[in-house]
């Protein structure tokens, strides 16, 4: 009888947790505060610099080698800064305006598709050659696919090449960069992390 009551109490507690915590966690996913694409880079940058220097927001994630450095554009970096500030201070009266440099969006900015991935119909040798060229010639940082780094697994040529190709594509697509690599890569609308 005591075991049955303990199990019943545990299940009741889990149901209360699910009813209280799960909606709270989901609600924190959005909306997001991002750089206003209609405002000049100079205005956006000035607002981001002010936010980093005056608000106490940790802006180290947009530094070279950190997880939010790429895409390396003023507006992408500013979006990280603005959203960090907004998520931290929105329940204390913080807004997402920054003198017009930012706007609220319901679209998750981390889901920045389309993505450029290795073409599964092309041989591993062709894909690997294109990925090696990209790492050596384009200036893309390919350290994330090395042993012990966050994109090492799955450890296949095509998965590593997809990281390289997409890093290049996300970095250079607004400057005319393409996703072809002599047929070794293709564009997809499906987030490769969701495969």
- For residues 77 and 140, state if they share a domain: no
Looking at the fold, whether 42 and 99 belong to one and the same domain comes out as: yes
What pLDDT score was predicted for residue 7? 35
Tell me: do 101 and 119 sit in the same domain.
no
- Tell me the pLDDT of the chain averaged across its residues: 81
User: What would the pLDDT profile of 34-82 be if each residue is shown by its tens digit?
Assistant: 999 899 999 999 999 999 999 888 899 898 877 788 778 899 899 999 9
Segment 90-116, tens digit of pLDDT? 999 999 999 999 999 887 776 667 889
Rounded (10°) angle between helices 157-172 and 124-137: 40
Is there a domain that residue 91 lies in? yes
Domain housing 153: 115-194
What is the tally of structural domains in the chain? 2
Task: Report the pLDDT averaged over residues 152-157.
Answer: 93
- Give the pLDDT confidence score for residue 192 in this predicted structure: 78
Cβ–Cβ under 8 Å, residues 179 and 165: yes
Q: Where are the beta strands (DSSP E) in the chain?
A: 32-35, 102-105, 115-118, 185-188
Q: How far is CA 94 from CA 26, 85, 151, in A?
A: 20, 8, 35
Q: Are residue 152 and residue 184 in the same domain, yes or no?
A: yes
Residue 163 in tokens: 């990281």
- Asked whether residue 71 falls in the same domain as residue 136, the answer is no
**119 & 190 share domain:** yes
């Amino acid at each position: 009888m005591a075991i049955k009551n303990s199990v019943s109490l545990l299940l009741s507690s889990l149901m209360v947790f699910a009813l209280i915590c799960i909606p709270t966690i989901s609600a924190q996913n959005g909306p997001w505060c991002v750089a206003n694409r209609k405002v000049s880079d100079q205005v956006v940058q000035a607002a981001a610099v002010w936010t980093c220097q005056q608000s106490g927001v940790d802006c180290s994630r947009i530094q070279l080698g950190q997880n939010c450095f790429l895409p390396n554009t003023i507006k992408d970096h500013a979006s990280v800064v603005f959203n960090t500030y907004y998520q931290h201070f929105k329940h204390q009266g913080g807004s997402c305006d920054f003198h017009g440099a930012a706007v609220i969006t319901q679209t998750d900015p981390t889901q920045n598709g389309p993505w450029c991935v290795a073409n599964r119909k092309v041989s591993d040798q062709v894909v690997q050659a294109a990925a090696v060229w990209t790492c050596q010639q384009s200036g893309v940082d390919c350290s994330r696919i090395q042993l012990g780094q966050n994109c090492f697994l799955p450890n296949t040529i095509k998965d590593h090449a997809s990281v390289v190709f997409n890093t290049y594509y996300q970095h250079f697509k607004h400057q005319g960069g393409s996703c072809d690599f002599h047929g070794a890569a293709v564009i997809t609308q499906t987030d490769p992390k969701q495969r």
